[in-house]
C-alpha cells in the first residue's frame, strides 16, 4: 500500500449476511496482515466489485498507482479475502471477496483498506453485511457507484469529486453520513422507511433535496438512497 499517496479516512443478500455475521464475536485472535495489488492497462475503463461479510472497510478512490491495492487484516484463515482481476470481458473486472459464509464466520474479525485508481476503475459495486464502511471518492473519473450495507455505519465522502457521478446507496439498518460538495450541483433522492434525515443539522422532510446550483452546475452528483431503518446525515462541504 502507498499510504502517503492514498490516505484512508470507507438488499436481500445483505440482510442475509447481516443475520449470519457479527452476532457472536467470541474470543479475540491475532490478526494476519496480507497486502495485495492488481493492475490493468493504462487506457482501460474497468469495474470493481467488492463483497465483505463483516468488519471495518475503508475504500479510497483517487488517481494513480495500481488499479487496486489492498491491505487485509483477518483472524480466521477460511475467511481469507482474495483480490483478482478478470480481463476476459468487454471491460476489466477487479474483484475482492471472501469464501462462502459458514456459521463460524460470525466470530471472524476483518479490517480492510482498499484503494483504487479511479482514472481506470470507473464503476463500483460494494456490498458489506455488517460493520462500518467508509468510502471516499476524490479527483477521479468515477462515473457511478453502488454501496449496500446490511447493518452498521456508512460514511460516503464525495466532497472531492471533480466529475459528474451518480450513486445508489442501500442501508438496511444504521446510520448513513453523506459528505457532499458545495461547489457542484447535488441532488439526493431518499427513502427512509423508519427514521429521519438531516442537512447540516436541520431535519429534512422532503424526499428529494436539490442544491440551488444544480440546474446550472457543470458537475453534478446524483444520489438515490434507501434506508430501511435509521438516520441519514447530509453535510455540504
pLDDT per 10-residue tile (average), the chain, 237 residues: 39 37 58 97 96 95 97 92 96 93 70 98 96 96 97 97 97 98 96 96 95 97 98 93
CA distance 230 to 172: 8
Q: How many domains does the chain have?
A: 1
In a domain, 112, yes or no: yes
* Cα–Cα distances in angstroms (integers) from residue 191 to residues 72, 115, 197, in the given order: 33, 30, 10
Q: What are the cell numbers at 100?
A: 462462502
Give the model's pLDDT for residue 167.
98
Neighbours of 14 (CB within 10 A): 20
Q: What are the cell numbers at 174?
A: 444504521
Give the model's pLDDT for residue 237.
66
Secondary structure class of 117 (helix, strand, coil)? strand
CA distance 56 to 232: 20
200 φ/ψ angles, rounded to the nearest 5 degrees: 50, 40
In a domain, 175, yes or no: yes
CA distance 145 to 141: 12
In a domain, 84, yes or no: yes
In a domain, 178, yes or no: yes
Residue that the C-alpha cell 427513502 belongs to: 191
CA distance 39 to 67: 5
Give the model's pLDDT for residue 28.
72
CA distance 195 to 70: 34
Contact 180, 159 (CB under 8 A): yes
In a domain, 181, yes or no: yes
Give the model's pLDDT for residue 32.
96
Structural domain boundaries enclosing 100 = 12-236
Nearest to 33 by CA among 78, 79, 72, 75: 72
Q: Where are the alpha helices (DSSP H) in the chain?
A: 12-20
In a domain, 4, yes or no: no
Contacts of 86 (CB under 8 A, 6+ apart): 92, 93, 95
Residue that the C-alpha cell 452528483 belongs to: 221
Amino acid at each position: 500500500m502507498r499510504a502517503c499517496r492514498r490516505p484512508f479516512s470507507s438488499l436481500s443478500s445483505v440482510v442475509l449476511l447481516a443475520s449470519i455475521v457479527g452476532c457472536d464475536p467470541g474470543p479475540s485472535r491475532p490478526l494476519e496482515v496480507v497486502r495485495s495489488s492488481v493492475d490493468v492497462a493504462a487506457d482501460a475503463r474497468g469495474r470493481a466489485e467488492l463483497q465483505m461479510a463483516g468488519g471495518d472497510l475503508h475504500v479510497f478512490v483517487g488517481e494513480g498507482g495500481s488499479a487496486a491495492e489492498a491491505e487485509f487484516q483477518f483472524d480466521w484463515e477460511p475467511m481469507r479475502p482474495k483480490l483478482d482481476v478478470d480481463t476476459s470481458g468487454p471491460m476489466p473486472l477487479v474483484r475482492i471477496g471472501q469464501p462462502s459464509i459458514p456459521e463460524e464466520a460470525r466470530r471472524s474479525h476483518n479490517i480492510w483498506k482498499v484503494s483504487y485508481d479511479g482514472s481506470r476503475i470507473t464503476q463500483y459495486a460494494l456490498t458489506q453485511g455488517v460493520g462500518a464502511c467508509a468510502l471516499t471518492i476524490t479527483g477521479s473519473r468515477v462515473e457511478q457507484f453502488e454501496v449496500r450495507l446490511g447493518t452498521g455505519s456508512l460514511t460516503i465522502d464525495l466532497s472531492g469529486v471533480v466529475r459528474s457521478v451518480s450513486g445508489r446507496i442501500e442501508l438496511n439498518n444504521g446510520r448513513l453520513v453523506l459528505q457532499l460538495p458545495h461547489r457542484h450541483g447535488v441532488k439526493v433522492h431518499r427513502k427512509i422507511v423508519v427514521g429521519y434525515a438531516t442537512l447540516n443539522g436541520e431535519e429534512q422532510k422532503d424526499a428529494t433535496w436539490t442544491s440551488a446550483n444544480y440546474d446550472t452546475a457543470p458537475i453534478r452528483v446524483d444520489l438515490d438512497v434507501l434506508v430501511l431503518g435509521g438516520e441519514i446525515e447530509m453535510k455540504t462541504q
